[in-house]
């Protein structure tokens, strides 16, 4: 599903922050991406999400060489990827329900075809009572759960999550992990960037460890 060959990344004329990355993310796989702060986890997720282009090497996503893709093709590929960023990126003028339903709206689907699914998912992540609330009045944890719900609602082929349990209590963290596992069982490849060892210890999965710009894989 995803193949990186000799990928390097630098910002501007600065030093290379990711070096010689060679790895595969198979379909239906589950992996944690970990490493110390500043190791480049978020940059690697952005490469996977096509919001950054590598300065060298080959990135192949869903069978496409990303260096050859135009804007419209990238937009189409992104419909197959769900992403949860650390800053949540919710739209402040839309309710929690509307934010979570946004991917379906962009796809042009009728609201009646997904409404129940959105409401059930919001209940599952503990936002059943906050569906009509606007993001500015949500707590950090609530925003994080809304962002996760938005990323998983369309059941993407690939889910990328940057510290998805960073702002929630351990119980809710376990519940969110169950959601990711459930999504993975239904066929989504999952990449969770975290340095939360407790979270990683709860599920036996492949670990991609970034250290000094290089990637070490523990199967």
Partner 1 sequence: MSRSDHHLGPLVDLGRERPQVPARARNMSPIVPRGSIAGSALVAVVAIMTFLASITTGTVLLVSASAAEWQSEVASEITVQVRPAPGRDIDRDAAAVAEAVRAQSGVVDIRPFTKEESAKLLEPWLGSGLSLDELPVPRVIVARVQPGATVDLEALRRRVTQAAPSASVDDHRAWIERMRSMTGATVIAGIAILVLVIIATIISVSFATRGAMAANRPIVEVLHFVGAGDRYIANRFLRHFLRLGLEGGVIGGGIAMLVFGFSESIAGWFSGTPVGDQFAALLGTFSLRPSGYLALAAQAVLIAAITAWASRRTLFKTLNEID
Q: List residues near partner 1 by CB under 8 A.
A: 49, 51, 71-72, 74-76, 78-81, 83, 85, 89-91, 93-98, 101-107, 111, 114-115, 117-124, 128, 131-132, 150, 152-157, 179, 182-183, 186-188
User: To the nearest whole angstrom, how small is the minimum distance from the Cβ of residue 76 to partner 1?
Assistant: 7
The residue (of 29 and 95) whose beta carbon lies closer to partner 1 is 95
SS3 assignment, position 200: helix
SS3 assignment, position 18: strand
The residue (of 52 and 209) whose beta carbon lies closer to partner 1 is 52
Could you tell me which residues are beta bridge partners of residue 21? 7
Q: Are 164 and 148 in contact (CB under 8 A)?
A: yes
b/e code 1-19 from CB counts within 10 Å (16+ = b): bbbbeebebbeeeeeebbb
The residue (of 56 and 109) whose beta carbon lies closer to partner 1 is 109
Q: Measuring CA to CA, how many Å separate 216 from each of 142, 160, 167, 193?
A: 33, 19, 27, 14
User: To the nearest whole angstrom, how small is the minimum distance from the Cβ of residue 197 to partner 1?
Assistant: 27
The residue (of 26 and 36) whose beta carbon lies closer to partner 1 is 26
User: To the nearest whole angstrom, how small is the minimum distance from the Cβ of residue 99 to partner 1?
Assistant: 9
The residue (of 80 and 207) whose beta carbon lies closer to partner 1 is 80
Q: Indicate the burial class of 98 (C-beta count within 10 angstroms; 0-12, 13-18, 19 or more).
A: middle
């Amino acid at each position: 599903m995803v193949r990186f060959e000799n990928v390097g990344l630098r910002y501007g004329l600065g030093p290379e922050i990711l070096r010689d990355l060679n790895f595969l993310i198979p379909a239906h796989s589950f992996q944690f991406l970990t490493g110390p702060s500043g190791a480049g986890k978020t940059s690697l997720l952005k490469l996977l999400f096509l919001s950054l282009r590598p300065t060298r090497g080959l990135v192949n996503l869903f069978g496409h060489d990303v260096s050859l893709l135009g804007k419209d093709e990238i937009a189409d590929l992104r419909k197959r990827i769900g992403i949860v960023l650390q800053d949540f990126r919710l739209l402040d003028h839309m309710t929690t329900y509307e934010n979570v339903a946004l991917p379906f709206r962009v796809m042009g689907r009728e609201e009646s075809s997904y409404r129940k699914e959105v409401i059930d998912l919001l209940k599952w992540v503990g936002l059943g009572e906050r569906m009509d609330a606007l993001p500015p009045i949500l707590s950090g944890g609530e925003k994080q759960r809304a962002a996760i719900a938005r990323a998983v609602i369309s059941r993407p082929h690939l889910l990328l999550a940057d510290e998805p349990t960073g702002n929630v209590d351990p119980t809710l963290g376990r519940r969110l992990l169950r959601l990711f596992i459930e999504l993975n069982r239904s066929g989504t490849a999952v990449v969770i960037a975290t340095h939360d060892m407790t979270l990683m210890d709860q599920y036996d999965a492949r670990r991609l460890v970034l250290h000094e710009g290089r990637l070490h894989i523990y199967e």
